[in-house]
Amino acid sequence: MNRDEKYMQMAIDLAKNAIGRTSPNPMVGAVIVKNNRIVGCGWHRKAGTEHAEVHALRAAGELAKGADIYVSLEPCSHYGRTPPCCDAIIKAGLKRVVVAMTDTNPKVAGRGIKKMRDAGIEVITGVLENEARKLNDVFFKWIETKSPFITIKSAMTLDGKISTVSGQSQWITNEHSRQYGHKLRDINDAIMVGINTIISDDPSLTTRLPNGGKNPIRIIVDSTGKVPLTAKILNDNAAPVIVAVTEKAASEKITALKNKGIEIIQTAADENNQVNLKELLHILGQKDICSILVEGGATLLGSLICQKLADKAYFFIAPKLIGGKTAKSAVEGIGIADLSNAALLSEPSVEILEGSDILIKGYLK
């Protein structure tokens, strides 16, 4: 690893401090180096607050003049909720800017780099670009498609079951795996489940970590409006709730849900008379919901996989075998008929968690 890569890795690691907290903005870290000594660093903490470069420049003070700055994403060149970062870099008198990658946001898209070069600053790009893109895979998916980044998650036995033949599912995996799942809730904008999960488990879908955590927006996919008005999720006020329905949902039920403060999204029915997931995700993306964790049920996961709408998968596997022809599997629905169309897990990793549960995760092609 050369000098530029060393300091860029530091900037990327700093950015990770704000995982799940900057939406709909990207995570960004910045490190200012002078005479091979770090004189300032910072990261973007929350949307609407100062960007990483400003934190780093404030920390460096006068030492920023003539220094190098390493930024994990192209400095912005437009006025949003904060002033342009490239203007602050120019004003501070930095001599060299090292950028991991160009911002694909149309409001930036190389303009920041051009502005700094026009001001006589040397700008280097493409240092640890792959690492920087992976850091913000959620942001780039949303900014390029206006659709959320979809992470699917399931907990199952070694033989792929999510419940016994009697319907018992609590608990398949151990406490450590469940805490990991709550961490995933904490870093996503929203959590989505199908109506059968609400009816069978009556979950709250909140984040329960030792130090608290952020409760995601809760989304129920409920084609015909079957959600019970007594469901915990509709009555705890822990976080906003969205119920997605089709025209098959009774108007009286929709009115009752709205009277409880629940937001309703109605889509056209798809070919299976279910909520049109592509349409739903587009609507959610327009609401600046950039990331969604989908925890089930099996039919919803199957639909997302078959329609190639999922981006990443986390499968928690308990070293248990329960069998049963009628026991529910992790992924159901219509299924894929031809193996050549199967969803493929790319960049897979396998981890043995505390208590011997296994986590397999990766990106879905």
| Annotated binding-site members for substrate | 185, 205, 208, 295
C-alpha to C-alpha distance for 117 and 93, rounded to whole angstroms: 13
| Annotated binding-site members | 51, 76, 85, 155, 169, 171, 185, 197, 201, 205, 208, 223, 295, 297-303
Query: Catalytic pick from 53, 62, 332, 354?
Result: 53
- Asked if 53 is an active-site residue, the reply is yes
Element (H, E) at 299: helix 298-306
Structure tokens at 178: 């469940």
| Annotated binding-site members for Zn(2+) | 51, 76, 85
| Annotated binding-site members for NADP(+) | 155, 169, 171, 197, 201, 223, 297-303
Per residue, what are the HEC states of 260-287?
CCCEEEECCECCCCCECHHHHHHHHHHC
Element (H, E) at 315: strand 312-318
Distance of CA 212 to the CA centre of its chain: 19
Q: Is 304 left (phi over 0), alpha (psi -120 to 50) or beta?
A: alpha
Q: 124 near 99, Cβ under 8 Å?
A: yes
What DSSP letter does each residue of 113-171 carry, written as one string? Answer: HHHHHHTT-EEEE-TTHHHHHHHTHHHHHHHHHSS-EEEEEEEEETTSBSS-TT---TT
CA 169, 235, 273, 216 torsion: positive or negative? negative
Which among 203, 199, 208 is positioned nearest to 170, based on CA atoms?
203
Positions marked active-site: 53
